[in-house]
Amino acid sequence: MTDEKFLITELVLTAHLYNQSDKLTVDDLPQKIRKHYWDEKEKTVKRPMYVTEGDIKSIYGIENVKNSTKLLPFLEFEDFGSQIKLNIFDLAIKWVTKHPEAVENINKNPVLASFFENYDSLPVSYKKAKASILPKESGREWINSLIKTIESEKGSEDMLKLAHIVAPEDIQQNISDLVLTKAQEDEIEKMTKAIQYRDYLKRIGLREIGKLLFVGPPGTGKTSVARAISGQLKIPIVEVKLSQIADQYLGETAKNIDRVFELARRLSPCILFIDEFDFVAKARATDEHAALKRAVNTLLKAIDEISLVEHGVLVIGATNHPNILDHAAWRRFDEIVEFSLPDKDMRKKILDLILRNIEGTFDTEEIAKITDGYSGSDLRLIAREAVLNGLITERTVLTQQDLIRGVAEFNKRTHLKKLDESA
């Protein structure tokens, strides 16, 4: 826990330096401070930034601000408005330099680092501080501001209703929580680089990049990987299900598709995740609905027109039924990423990963052997059953028997489901 006096001084000094220098941007403020002072309408932290007792309480949870500041001769507590002012700048700087926690904290605060790297001989750097914090675009408050702006425009309600938007900081599973094939890992790596080097790609005119189709049976990690990429790249993900867009009023479908793409452009850089892509094929197969066909054409055209390099939108389609997609749909994507049911080795790895925080003695190799044809999601359900089996007898230490029972119960359930489906 950082010293309260240091935190207060850091905030007052950060505000002071931020107010003074127009070279510093809102991206240089540490997240905690940025979030607190965020102006939703202007989408920035406005200058001048003031520091009051209430600000300190709400940012750091420090209760007795007055007591702490009394001991700092360079701060002045203005009773009126309870604003805290920096009185003697040089003294504050000296005090910070001598503080044992200075280096560690300055290296996480680009505003301070930009000042202190040219001052004295503290081993701090602006670059390092900058690398330690997230850009404003990945914060929930940035996305909320954008959504608010969009909401305030006429006719925008429909656009927002169609998609589910997730901020990268809210993503639960990251890449390391998933067991991936080498091909999947390579693809993620490529896209990460493509987004980083967008300007370069634009310059050399390489535009045919950034449209992926994830193909594979249910529960093999397509949605999870798309989200994990968003978490890794620190960009939001806009998720849509094609069947939902086409719901109810068919006449609106084409318009809805345009709305979703428009939303993605507004949120860029972002990922646009289009789930149930096979819907396109189904729609083409029916000849009753001219409106639906029009919608599909709109979708294919929209995919053609959007680009990662130009607009900062990475398009990821996902489907369980690749066999029904026609050539027109396939050729929109520059990479096809396969999500197969995991083989024995992968199943073992997935089980090890799922069970990594669970105490007990069990042999995942053996479970992997008896779960041929199971998806990652099935394995998760088995693990859940096994844990619950243990809990029934008040055990939090898992046994092999619990896992085997988990498999049996899972089988029983899928059997019932199949009966239901064939009925």
Ligand X SMILES: Nc1ncnc2c1ncn2[C@@H]1O[C@H](COP(=O)(O)OP(=O)(O)OP(=O)(O)O)[C@@H](O)[C@H]1O
Q: Tokens 């019932």 label which residue?
A: 416
222 counts as binding ligand X under rule CB under 6 A: yes
Q: Which of residues 350-369 bind ligand X (CB under 6 A)?
A: 350, 353
Region binding ligand X by CB under 6 A among candidate stretches 24-32, 46-54, 57-65, 217-225: 217-225
For the bound state, the minimum distance from the C-beta of residue 337 to ligand X, rounded and expressed in Å, comes to 11
Q: Which of 99, 134, 305 is nearest to 231 (CA)?
A: 134
Rounded (5°) CA angle 329-303-265: 160
Q: Which of 10, 21, 92, 91 is nearest to 51 (CA)?
A: 10
97 counts as binding ligand X under rule CB under 6 A: no
317 counts as binding ligand X under rule CB under 6 A: no
Q: What is the Cα–Cα distance from 233 to 237, expressed in whole angstroms?
A: 10
- Which of 140, 202, 282, 380 binds ligand X (CB under 6 A)? It is 380
By three-state DSSP, how is residue 123 classified?
coil
Which residue type sits at 230? S
Nearer to ligand X, 67 or 243 (CB): 243
Nearer to Mg ion, 109 or 223 (CB): 223
Nearer to ligand X, 16 or 222 (CB): 222
Write out the two tokens for 65: 């601000």
Q: Which residues pair with 39 in a beta bridge?
A: 44
371 counts as binding ligand X under rule CB under 6 A: no
State CA 404 to chain mean position distance: 35
Q: Which of residues 141-180 bind ligand X (CB under 6 A)?
A: 173, 178-179
Q: How many CA atoms lie within 13 A of 320 on its CB side?
A: 9
Nearer to ligand X, 252 or 335 (CB): 335
232: phi then psi, degrees, rounded to nearest 5: -70, -40
Nearer to ligand X, 127 or 344 (CB): 344
Write out the two tokens for 335: 């990479």
Q: Which of 187, 189, 207 is nearest to 198 (CA)?
A: 207
Nearer to ligand X, 84 or 280 (CB): 280
Nearer to Mg ion, 92 or 225 (CB): 225
Number of residues near Mg ion (by CB under 5 A):
2
For the bound state, the minimum distance from the C-beta of residue 315 to ligand X, rounded and expressed in Å, comes to 16
Residue nearest to Mg ion as judged by C-beta position: 223
Q: Which of 197, 232, 231, 233 is nearest to 309 (CA)?
A: 197
For the bound state, the minimum distance from the C-beta of residue 318 to Mg ion, rounded and expressed in Å, comes to 6
Residue nearest to ligand X as judged by C-beta position: 376
Q: Tokens 């080498």 label which residue?
A: 182
Q: Which of residues 188-247 bind Mg ion (CB under 5 A)?
A: 222-223
Which residues bind to ligand X, rule: CB under 6 A? 173, 178-179, 218-224, 320, 339, 350, 353, 376-377, 380
Tell me which residues touch Mg ion (CB under 5 A): 222-223
